[in-house]
Amino acid sequence: MRAARLMTSNDQEQEKDVTGATIWLTGLPSAGKTTIAYELAGRLKAEGRRVQVLDGDEIREFLSAGLGFSREDRHTNVQRIGYVAELLARNGVLALAPVIAPYADSREAVRKRHQSEGTAYLEVHVATPVDVCSVRDVKGLYAKQAAGEISGLTGVDDPYEAPESPDLRIESHQQTVQESAAALHALLTERGLA
């Protein structure tokens, strides 16, 4: 078993200079949010940054188990993810949250939490049209909804309130995953976060 290494004063100085942030990728199911987040995370890690992807599906399983898909439960889920993301970001991690977060007021509450803590927050709209998402249908949700097996699918028979003024809008259906991640990386660089 390896012994833990004590931080030197040089390590502590470098630690102070690291700026964390939350990058929230919102969009319809199968828009490409998670794929873009993992592509960006790989690039940032290669540059030596501390990065954590807060995958919406994993959060649902481990942090928000028992929540359904009512408006109230969706809001609670988004607030939980927002809290964890802000905590990570405040401690120098780039927290990537590829989470649908369909309601503008829920996303705004997360933004305000970050503002009140002085933590950087960027909202990215992965603006893939529903017809493209339904063809991609990564989890088979659109097919199940069309067959009447499920209801409440965001953007189909449940609302999705697209951001009016996101920090970045990505048209993932018009560019590669690498190009989408590069556009987001460029924004982070411009804002002094990469």
Q: What is the pLDDT of residue 41?
A: 98
Q: What is the pLDDT of residue 56?
A: 87
Q: What is the pLDDT of residue 57?
A: 86
Report the b/e string of 11-46 with b at 16+ CB within 10 A: eeeeeeeeebbbbbbbbbbbbbbbbbbbbbbebbee
Average pLDDT, rounded, for the chain: 91
Q: What is the pLDDT of residue 12?
A: 43
Q: What is the pLDDT of residue 18?
A: 76
Q: How confident is the model at residue 72 (pLDDT cuts 50, 70, 90)?
A: very high
Can you give the C-alpha Rg of the chain in angstroms? 17
Q: What is the pLDDT of residue 138?
A: 87
Q: Are 172 and 128 in contact (CB under 8 A)?
A: yes
Q: What is the pLDDT of residue 17?
A: 58
Q: Is the dihedral of CA 40, 92, 58, 151 positive or negative?
A: negative
Q: What is the pLDDT of residue 152?
A: 87
DSSP symbols for 80-121: HHHHHHHHHHHTT-EEEEE-----HHHHHHHHHHHHHHT-EE
Residue 93 vs residue 8, higher pLDDT: 93
Q: How confident is the model at residue 13 (pLDDT cuts 50, 70, 90)?
A: very low
Residue 10: pLDDT over 90:
no
Residue 2: pLDDT over 50:
no
Residue 128: pLDDT over 80:
yes
**What are the residue ranges of helices labelled H in the chain?**
9-17, 33-46, 56-62, 71-90, 104-117, 130-136, 141-146, 177-190
Q: Which residues contact 121 (CB under 8 A, 6 or more apart)?
A: 21, 22, 24, 86, 89, 110, 111, 114, 115
Q: What is the pLDDT of residue 79?
A: 97
Q: Are 51 and 124 in contact (CB under 8 A)?
A: no
Q: What is the pLDDT of residue 7?
A: 46
Measured from the Cβ of residue 119, the count of other Cβ atoms closer than 10 Å reads 20
Q: What is the pLDDT of residue 15?
A: 46
Q: Encode pLDDT of 141-166 as tens digits.
A: 999 999 999 988 999 989 999 999 99
Q: Which residues contact 77 (CB under 8 A, 6 or more apart)?
A: 59, 60, 64, 67, 99
Q: Encode pLDDT of 29-63 as tens digits.
A: 999 999 999 999 999 999 999 999 999 889 988 88
